[in-house]
Amino acid sequence: MNLILPTITMAIIISITITIIMPMHTKSMKNKMMMMTLISLIPLNSLLNNKEMTMSSPPIIITPTENIYISLTLDMLSMMFIPIALLITWSISEFSTWYMSSDPNTNKFIKYLLTFLITMLIIISANSMYQLFIGWEAVGIMSFLLINWWHDRSNANTSALQAIIYNRMGDIGLIMTTAWLMTTSSINFQETMALHNMSLIPMIGLLTAAAGKSAQFTMHPWLPSAMEGPTPVSALLHSSTMVVAGIFLLTRLNPLLQNKAIMTMCLILGATTTIFAAASATTQYDIKKIIALSTTSQLGLMMTMIGLNQPSLAFLHMMTHSFFKALLFLCSGSFIHSMNNEQDVRKMGGLLNLSPMTGSFMTIANLSLMGTPFLSGFYSKDTIIETMMNSHTNSWALITTLTATTLSAMYSTRITLLTLTNYPRIKQTLHMESNKTASPMARLAIMSIIAGTMTKLTTLQNTAMITMPLPIKLTAMTATLIGIILSNDYLFFTKHSSPKKSKTLTTFFNQLAFFNIPHRALPMATLKFSQQTSTELMDLWLLEAWGPKGLSNMLKPMIHLSTQQNNLMKNYMLTFIITLMLSLIILMI
């Protein structure tokens, strides 16, 4: 048994690799992905019996200080997340065959998606820093290739570069931590966590790596920009690959982060990210950017849980969030396709009548995101806020998280009302809802409904029962209801009002605040300085020193040497009088 289950994981990775290499047919790809998803559920049986397994190969590279080998781990994190990643990729790949049908390289696109999945599976099952680092870098490369899929567009080029540069900034921290582990401890996770002696510097490295990959505050601008890629890329990027890798890293290595300073940093970073991204989402009108900022907000919530030393809750929210976020993106992709690539929510409307199934799925996803009772988002989001209520954290983090919950309800309600209700605001091209779109979205919708309940019913739910007064128990629900009411009223009052100039605060959040500093303020300051240097200073130095003035200064001494014509009247008169006197004296003699 100890060998069979890790072998299954290895077989899944190899099967996907073979699927990528071999010529691809849509039907066979769907069947293979379905089989791999079902096979990946087999190891869960052992997980429910509280078994954890590892499998290591013989050393591949032998060095005096370190033996490098392939090592897979199957613990709660990997066994729970592998089926989720496979199910979501299966659904998105199937949706892509419809969404990208007009693209001449559809098969190549799906192969890229499957490669993206493999790189994430490497991160999930890695048992050493070397392996994790390979998956970590490969995820970044695949995100660059997929965001830049439509590479003829300059915005896609810029966004892909932005994504990989921000991630490279975070990777500095991971490389630093890996180097520290190589010199002082071991790169194997079990050995490292057993020693448990990490100092603050490598901890900060891990936090930096997670902040870059999971788009935390100050490193957040790349995630909304990544919306320039095709919608299936956004769905995969935001749900089960790439952005959750940072939180997964901190969850995996949580025993090493037992330090008050680093926990406080995680808490502050997470709470700031969640409220800032939620506030930014309320000012956006591009449907994909709203959902992208929603992802950043939820990642901030997960980081807050890491800061409260509750990694299991962060992982629970990561699992439930994956389903409804992938569903949101697929629904928005379907609507964008219907609207001739229109992404502005103000120009949508009445889509529930045109696409009733997609509209229903989007409503389910939004309700799950808001934390509606008994949908999957409720079981993680409500538990997170209850845990914060009963922790020894400061009230600032709690108020921040509750405010973010209210704002989440606001932008979710706004998306639902603007896209699905009332009447169409521009001419729309109706397309029939086929199995290619309905089947993948139906799978994700079912999981968005039952994933939380399934987790609740398993033996994994071993958290202690928390007793509290009813008003405190209902705080999260109250915050959500306030957000729904405010959003509805705001839309009602502003629907027929004339356009107004944006306020400074709205512009601040709309432009993603820190986006302005690295992407606008610094480049503009540099350009102005360069312009001043090249025009004013060069003008002073080159033209003044070597131009007309320089020529004049050079010729003046030569003129003075060769002539007495200095335009000085007194000198001329004196010379004339002396010459006249000398002439008279000579004549008189």
Amino acid at 124: I
Q: Which residues, in sequence order, are CB contacts of 310 under 8 Å at separation 6+? A: 384, 387
Spatial separation of the C-alpha atoms in residues 200 and 203, rounded to whole Å: 5
Quickly tell me which residue has 């968005």 as its tokens: 448
**With 0-12 CB in 10 A as exposed, 13-18 as middle and 19+ as buried, what is 357?**
middle
Spatial separation of the C-alpha atoms in residues 434 and 562, rounded to whole Å: 97
Q: DSSP letter at 56?
A: E
Segment 274-323, tens digit of pLDDT: 999 999 999 999 999 999 999 999 999 999 999 999 998 999 999 999 99
Spatial separation of the C-alpha atoms in residues 449 and 582, rounded to whole Å: 121
Spatial separation of the C-alpha atoms in residues 240 and 501, rounded to whole Å: 39
- Indicate whether 535 pLDDT > 90: no
% residues pLDDT > 70 (the chain): 90
Spatial separation of the C-alpha atoms in residues 453 and 442, rounded to whole Å: 17
Taking CA atoms, 376 is separated from 125, 290, 379, in Å, by 25, 21, 6
Q: What angle do CA 192, 165, 224 make, to 5 degrees?
A: 105
The CB-side HSE value for 556 (13 A sphere, CA atoms) comes to 8
pLDDT grade for 213, boundaries at 50, 70 and 90:
very high
Q: Which residues, in sequence order, are CB contacts of 442 under 8 Å at separation 6+? A: 361
- Indicate whether 1 pLDDT > 60: no
- Indicate whether 463 pLDDT > 60: no
- Indicate whether 461 pLDDT > 60: no
Contact criterion met (CB below 8 Å) for 236 and 113 = yes
Segment 102-161, tens digit of pLDDT: 888 898 999 999 999 999 999 999 999 999 999 999 999 999 999 999 998 999 999 999
Spatial separation of the C-alpha atoms in residues 409 and 326, rounded to whole Å: 18
